[in-house]
Structure 1
Amino acid sequence: MLLKSIHITQIVIAAYGAMQSQVAISKLLEYEEATKKLAKISSEAERQLHKTRTTQASGAVTILISFAVSVLLVTGGASYPSLVRYLVSPFMALVVYAARVYIRDFWAGKNGKNVTDKKIPLPKMADYNEALERTEKSLRVLGWLTISWVASSAVALIQGY
């Protein structure tokens, strides 16, 4: 029952994360055309655009995979082979953690500052700044999901599936 509760919690956390990720991506898309024009004349702008796309996509995909795996474990966990049940949680913990590190390294930098430290205090940048806030929330969600997958790994190991 404890394991099922953890997976239900993961579903809720991932659903919240998906909403944050969706808003961040849609807000960043508003700046896509201007960034594409700049990318044509600046290799750094092109690199930044590519990293923005890949980090946002990796966060969204990781959150959705976490959601789907949690749903599958809640609805049919006992029907999966025992090796799959025992390995899926540690595997998901690694995947979610890796995605979080990848995103954080780009958005917050190697020094680990908050994403929102990059806010631009200029008119017409409110949507960009909101995208940064949502990206920060997505990073927190990935942190919570990592912890929950580690917890489900420990519970599965101790109490069994």
Structure 2
Amino acid sequence: MADSISVTVHTLQALLSTYTLYFSYISITNLQKYETKTEEAAKYSNIAKDQLHKTRTTQGNALIAILMSLATSIALAFKQSSWSPYLVVGINVGNALNLLQTRAHVSNFWKGKAKVPFVEGYNEAISGTERIIALLGNMSGSWALSSVLALWKFFV
């Protein structure tokens, strides 16, 4: 019974990760439209250079966390029963904490970004990133739930 619940939770995590990955792709694609202009500005301004670096870092960090969640949720849905319970708990807790930290990292940079009139792709990237931030929180919560389920197996 607990195994079927875990498989269901991990399958839902994989779906949520895929959904979040879609928004990450859209945000990164929209930001890349302004990459050349931003790189040119970064040659003359340390502020622009710093903003470009932070933009790349936060988007990349979110992408890596989402991909890790997707890969581990698929692996746990199919192979969990053959793994050490300590490894399963570690993966669940690790993903919950990683996604929570990633959400904070991305949010701290993007929360103050104002939308710019007549710059549609950039504004869409901001909106997409706001959606990603919310979804990272949901993903972290789902991994916290699966952590509880994994720990439950120790006591049952």
* Corresponding residue of 2:133: 139
CA contact (8 A) 2:7 2:78 kept: no
1:129 to 123, 138, 148: 123
Shift of 1:31: 0.4
Deviations 1:82-139 (A, max 9, x none): 2101211111111111111100000014xxxxx6xx211x22x011111111111111
* Corresponding residue of 2:99: 96
Is residue 41 of structure 2 the alignment partner of residue 45 of structure 1? no
Q: Which amino acid aligns with 2:109?
A: F
Query: Aligned-pair RMSD on alpha carbons?
Result: 1.3
**What are the equivalent positions in structure 2 for 1:13-24 lying under 5 Å apart?**
13-24=16-27
Normalising by structure 1, we get a TM-score of 0.90
**What are the equivalent positions in structure 2 for 1:1-161 lying under 5 Å apart?**
1-109=4-112, 118-120=114-116, 122-123=117-118, 125-160=119-154
Normalising by structure 2, we get a TM-score of 0.93
Distance in 2, matches of 1:129 and 1:36, equals: 19
* Corresponding residue of 1:112: none
Runs of 4+ displaced beyond 4 Å: none
Q: Which amino acid aligns with 1:34?
A: K
Distance in 1, matches of 2:88 and 2:36, equals: 45
- SS class of match (1:20): helix
CA contact (8 A) 2:39 2:49 kept: yes
The range that moved more, 41-50 or 131-140, is: 131-140
Q: Which amino acid aligns with 2:13?
A: Q
Q: Which runs of 5+ in 1 are unaligned?
A: 110-114
Distance in 2, matches of 1:128 and 1:108, equals: 14
Shift of 1:159: 3.8
Among the aligned pairs, what percent are the same residue? 33
Count residues in correspondence.
Answer: 152
Deviations 1:17-40 (A, max 9, x none): 000000000000000011011101
Distance in 1, matches of 2:96 and 2:123, equals: 29
